[in-house]
Amino acid sequence: MAPAEPLFANNRRDSSLHSEERAADEDTALLGGPRKESSSPLSRTSFWREVGLFTWALVATAAVIVLAVFTQHQSLSHGSDHKTPSKPTGKRNLIFMVSDGMGPASLSMTRSFRQFRDGLPIDDTLVLDQHFIGSSRTRSTSSLVTDSAAGATAFSCGLKSYNGAISMLPDHTPCGTVLEAAKKAGYMTGLVVTTDITDATPACFSAHVNIRLEEDLIAQQEVGEHPLGRVVDLMLGGGRCHFLPNTTEGGCRADDRDITKLAQDKYGWNYIDSRKDFDKLELGSNVKLPLLGLFAERDIPFEIDRRNQNDVYPSLNEMAQTALKALEDATADSDKGFFLMIEGSRIDHAGHGNDPAAQVNEVLAYDAAFASVVEFLKRSGEEGILVATSDHETGGLSVARQLHPLYPQYKWFPEVLANASSSAECLAGRLNNHIIQNGKSDKLEEFISEELVRKGLGITDLAEEELQLLMDNPPLSVYTFADMISRRAQIGWSTHGHSAVDVNIYGTAGSEALHGNHENIEIGKFLRHYLDVDVKAITDELVEKLDTFGVSGIAGNSWTGRMPSEEDLELAANHISRTTGNISE
């Protein structure tokens, strides 16, 4: 029996034949030729309906193409899924936090460390994790690997510049900062850090110098010896030595100027320099602005060490809470809010030193301050937003390390970090001081193995070659101590400098425009947009005063300092700590 033909096969075949005939007739009619038969009103209606449908389809297709092209242009201009924020209105507060040197691996390491230390479940996360919104690309104009100065200039000015630049552009003209523009617009402003207040990140919001090494000049500008006058209302951190004359114990300036006295006498600052004075502030309830608090000659110690000296140094969280309360009270009767920059400065230093125990504790201290800001915004009666990111990653951190040439272990050991009670920096300082006081005596070996290694690092299996290295080369002991703990924890590092890896962005409600991946300058532009301030006007004023404003102590140079030499740029790229030989920032 022959197979049945497909249903409607004959009809389809006939339809195909007749359609060719109809198409020929339609072509003839459209070209104005004779028709086989006169058209009826019904056929004319059908013809115009088809023309109308064709026209509608053409217009719709064109609209879709135009919309697609526009969407693609917006995506290329602003990144995928990036939303242009609407102009904010009314009083508002902006807190911008910088986790200097913290990359994505720092979060992974710290999260697992905290879970182990506190016996927490695997789904327990940091407060930072709960506010993760995107990532940032960090290159500068001079290198794919940025330094903190160029990184912070991107945030403060919303512009790229060269490594070492403190809110200066590649042509060595100043760029206005969001903090300066905020102050000009009537906002109160503040800076909170755990490093020198003259270091790159805080300096980029409040000063302008051609090279970051000019910390004496930065100190002068920060207190008010600045073309715009005093632009900061509150500064808390370290770096007291750059404010004290070289004739004073604890001073590290190149001249004999007392900037703490200048700040008080000429610019009205209230100055404090001790934990006792800090406690009198009552976490911000008893503050008179402007306030300058410098609680260490240089950096405030790493959190792992500071917690054992809590009677000497305030924590980042305490300083952050104090600043929030002080600025909130100061703006209570104002139609403007405040801009506050808070930096977890020493995450970066732990990365430079390749010290994982110091770093996890720095990240946790930063997370605690971040949580305090989140809580502040929740309870505040004013509109406000928190945006946080890093300027770069430091150390090339990897939460894994292959110790032997054979197949690696898929492990790392947070318990090794939990056993440490001191940073490598602290232990290196103790070793060098011990040798200065006692020489390389017979008791040196016991001091190292017992006091530094067993008690400080929690290491009980000190190898003979490790001990010998510490005894033979004390100046580099900071790296030896750090490597000892990194190896045992199986934590890897690729550099003592920075890396070019993208860094995370965090934000509260209102930061949706920063979702996704962004250039770091986009963060800076977001900050100015949220505050609705005119940074360009500040830039124009600074440039106008480039040759007319004078500053004491820099005869022959602009108020932005000397033009950097190649040696200056090299020194800035290898910023050397004066204490333990650490490379920092």
For 513, the 3-state DSSP assignment is helix
Task: Give the span between the Cα atoms of 296 and 299, in whole angstroms.
Answer: 6
* Selected catalytic residue, list 106, 135, 140, 148: 148
- Looking only at the bridges linking them, the beta strands covering 503-507 and 92-98 are unpaired
Q: In what order do the strands lie in the sheet with 188-196?
A: 270-272, 291-294, 234-238, 188-196, 338-343, 92-98, 383-389, 503-507, 132-137, 516-519
For 97, the 3-state DSSP assignment is strand
Task: Give the span between the Cα atoms of 159 and 153, in whole angstroms.
Answer: 7
Integer-rounded Cα Rg, in Å, for the chain is 32
CA distance between the termini of the chain = 89
Torsion angle, alpha carbons of 420, 423, 428, 431, to 10 = -50
Cβ neighbour number for residue 157 with a 10 Å cutoff:
30
345 is catalytic: no
**Rounded to 5°, angle at Cα 343 from 338 and 344:** 145
Task: Give the span between the Cα atoms of 128 and 370, in whole angstroms.
Answer: 7
Q: Are 166 and 212 in contact (CB under 8 A)?
A: yes
Residues carrying an active site annotation:
148
